[in-house]
Amino acid sequence: MTFPKPIDVIPHRDPFLFLTEVTNLSISESAEGYWQLSLDEDFFVGHFPELPTLPGVLMCESIAQLGAYTLLSDPNFEGFLPLFGGLDNVRFRRKVSPGERLELSVELSKISARGGKGHGEARVDGELACSCDLMFIFATV
């Protein structure tokens, strides 16, 4: 099944769009997708010059963007913008390098009119790179 492009659902734009495609979606509940890293992202130049490494906070952001896609695919959340309310239980397990594909998954829970919670993971070749618990709040646009 083909899903709308992230740029058509979430408000993020380059250079801060970290979701390439959504591959599975259960609206307002869960989703899977990926971020295909190129060799050209600017942050790799300085993080780190001798050993380019994807910053962990950007892994968390890519998971959060998939969560936003999951919510904003639901017409009930039209006119809302999910914003980070917090991160808990963040763990980084593997270095992610330029050119790798970051497979993302997110499951949302406890969604209300004010915000909600979720859990997400990022993997490369099936190996866990990052996991985190997300909290979000809704802002109106």
Q: Which residues are catalytic?
A: 47
List the structure tokens of 82: 């999910």
Q: How far apart are CA 16 and CA 22, in angstroms?
A: 17
Contact between residue 25 and residue 31 where contact means Cβ atoms under 8 Å apart: yes
Buried b / exposed e over 7-42, threshold 16 CB at 10 Å, is: eebbebeeeebbbbebeebeebebbbbbbebeeebe
Strand ranges, E, within 72-140: 80-92, 101-109, 115-124, 127-140
Residue 53, CA atoms < 13 Å, CB-side half-sphere: 12
- Residue 49, Cβ neighbours under 10 Å: how many? 8
